[in-house]
Structure 1
Amino acid sequence: MENHTYKLIEITGTSDKSIEDAIERAVSKAANSVDELRWFKVMETRGTIDEDHVQQWQVTLKIGFTLKD
């Protein structure tokens, strides 16, 4: 097994559909500008309410990626 060094970034994804969709959107967006994504950790889940209904999910993630040699 190879030893790696990782860096963490923190981002927030949003979705009007679900928590899972907010996570997918955040990871997908991060993958557009950061290579070697390896894992994520959900740090916070929150949302907005409009007329007694959830309007939008907001999920803050820490994403780890491998640093290049």
Structure 2
Amino acid sequence: MAVLKVIEVLANSDESWEDAAKKAVAQAAKSVKNIRSVYINEQSATVKDGKIDNYRVNVKITFEVK
């Protein structure tokens, strides 16, 4: 039986929500091994001069504990 753990990570990007999610996983992978999945819990953005300035995601990352 596998034991899984979930952590919550916040990340942002100037490009897209997808890029922000990729950055969250890449940063988590530096210290967490065996990442299995990512769940986009929440998306938001900041607006400057009528345009999206920054994309933000709140993600839940699931990994196996060995």
Gaps of 5+ in 2: none
Q: CA deviation at 1:18?
A: 0.6
The answer to whether the aligner puts 1:22 opposite 2:11 as a matched pair is: no
Q: Distance in 2 between matches of 1:6 and 1:63?
A: 10
Q: Secondary structure at the match of 2:25?
A: helix
Spell out structure 1 runs of 4+ moving beyond 6 A: none
Q: CA deviation at 1:43?
A: 0.4
What amino acid is aligned across from residue 50 of structure 1 in structure 2?
K
Q: Distance in 1 between matches of 2:16 and 2:31?
A: 24
Aligned to 1:54: 52
- Whichever of the two has the greater Rg, that structure is 1
TM-score, normalised to structure 1, is 0.92
Gaps of 5+ in 1: none
Deviations 1:5-41 (A, max 9, x none): 1000000111000111001000000000111111010
TM-score, normalised to structure 2, is 0.96
Q: CA deviation at 1:55?
A: 0.4
Q: Distance in 1 between matches of 2:46 and 2:40?
A: 18
Q: Secondary structure at the match of 1:35?
A: coil
Q: Secondary structure at the match of 1:38?
A: strand
Aligned to 1:44: 42
Higher strand share: 2
